[in-house]
Amino acid sequence: MADDAARPSISSLTSSAYRDALEVIASVEPRIAEATRQELTDQRGSLKLIASENYASPAVLLTMGTWFSDKYAEGTVGHRFYAGCQNVDTVEALAAEHARELFGAEYAYAQPHSGIDANLVAYWSILAHRVEGPWLEKAQLRNVNELTEADWEALRHELGNQRLLGMSLDAGGHLTHGFRPNISGKMFHQQQYGTDPETGLLDYDVVAAKAREFRPLVLVAGYSAYPRRINFAKMREIADEVGATLMVDMAHFAGLVAGKVFTGDEDPVPHAHLVTTTTHKSLRGPRGGMVLATEEYAPSVDRGCPMVLGGPLSHVMAAKAVALAEARQPAFRTYAQQVADNAQSLADGFLSRGANLVTGGTDNHLVLLDVSSFGLTGRQAESALLDAGVVTNRNSVPADPNGAWYTSGIRLGTPALTTRGFGHDEFDRVAELIVEVLGSTEPGTTKAGAPSKASYVLADGIADRVKAASAEMLDKHPLYPGLELT
């Protein structure tokens, strides 16, 4: 792979900064310092294939450990409920500026603490814009402060009686896309669309037919475990036809949008009314969330605090600004393209060895492997792979007979190992090692002797052999090269 897609070596100055920081921590609670050191050791020595994880740069990580953590700053830039927030204003404004420029968005809101928070801000912004505003106008009231208790009761009924149509969890959607146990499934009268039972692909005609029948206020697009691209222009056509607001959750593939791997109809920003995202995952920043929106929705989104959020995490917003500045550099486009190319290499590696992939492949950053052909549940596969030093997460497949806890699949992503410098040959080898582990694993039994969905038996010697093979690749692509903590 291209050398400039990997991380540069870390300077002795950066190593000194981390060593000094750990010494300070150890002076108060040495067990935390030791756990921090051990986490780096563990991450350096494992094949991290969790699609929602990555490795942030030292600059991003160091930005979070500052006195911005001590600030309260409810409100928005220039309009805070606390005094002394001029530097927080600078930080938040820069994060929003970088986000607008990077994604070509009209408006950006950098305050959400997580992807779920970002989705809640978006949902309530849509309700405020599409329901609360018109309701107040109809009632001839200027704002919510004029509401009587009877008014509130009527407005609560309107706000809580709206419809949302999102992608089902087993088809690759997220918990926050209307899954009944999640708050999103309780906020809305919700229905879900799935994928074609034969191909596992989205059928836009079926989505359109469901939207015409259900008439949702909100149409949600995006995914956490769908290994294909989405045509957001078609999703906007569907939304417009039924009068819905199109909200896209791009938390998983934001890096591919930022890196211009997804363009045109596959870029959600020109087509959606609101786009939510995390700032880690493929975007390779700090753990946090963000909302992009058209100017029409900006005033409602700006009410995220106090509508949904409390005090923004100023130190994390600062780290978001640094990460977004990194993503605006040409090297990030090289990285993003390599993420997609590596996912293709991983998928091809599985297919050439007879493994079964949901949708038959991938054209984004993730691969969804159906492990039922190995006679395993997702939980058994995940655990056996972890024994061998391969970190994945179990995941449902469409119409999964094992449900969301045990599952029938494992989800694998390429962003983290691409950051380390892995390329085509390494990902083909990763597929080979995973197939070797799964092919050497058998389901276990319960204490009563019945078949178990959780226990498993991994053949002797396999874990050590796979760890040794993984170590050869990992040693060639060290994590944070040059960073020494002792």
What does the DSSP assignment read for 82-129? SSS-HHHHHHHHHHHHHHHHHHT-SEEE---SSHHHHHHHHHHHHHII
Burial (0-12, 13-18, 19+ Cβ within 10 Å), 156: exposed
Q: Is 63 a catalytic residue?
A: no
Alpha-carbon dihedral 39, 44, 49, 50, rounded to 10 degrees: 20
Residue of 14, 176, 277, 278 with catalytic role: 278
**In angstroms, what CA-CA distances link 181 with 177, 188, 190, 192?**
11, 12, 12, 14
Residue of 53, 74, 203, 428 with catalytic role: 74
Q: Check residue 278 and report its DSSP letter.
A: E
Residue of 48, 130, 287, 320 with catalytic role: 287
Residue of 72, 97, 334, 428 with catalytic role: 72
Residue of 249, 267, 341, 400 with catalytic role: 249
Q: Is 447 a catalytic residue?
A: no
Q: Is 74 a catalytic residue?
A: yes
Two tokens, residue 386: 């972890």
**3-state SS of the chain: helix, strand, coil percent to 5?**
50, 15, 35
Element containing residue 191 per DSSP (H, E):
strand 189-193
Q: Is 234 a catalytic residue?
A: no
What does the DSSP assignment read for 156-180? HHHHTT-EEEEE-TTTT--GGGT-T
Residue of 71, 80, 281, 284 with catalytic role: 281
- Per the CB < 8 A criterion, the answer to whether 465 and 439 are in contact is no
Report the candidate in 398, 418, 416 with the shortest Cα–Cα distance to residue 408. 398
Q: Is 72 a catalytic residue?
A: yes
**In angstroms, what CA-CA distances link 312 with 78, 102, 210, 295?**
14, 22, 38, 22
Q: Is 287 a catalytic residue?
A: yes
Cα separation, 277 vs 265, in Å, equals 18
Q: Is the dihedral of CA 466, 432, 480, 312 positive or negative?
A: negative
Active site residues: 72, 74, 249, 278, 281, 287
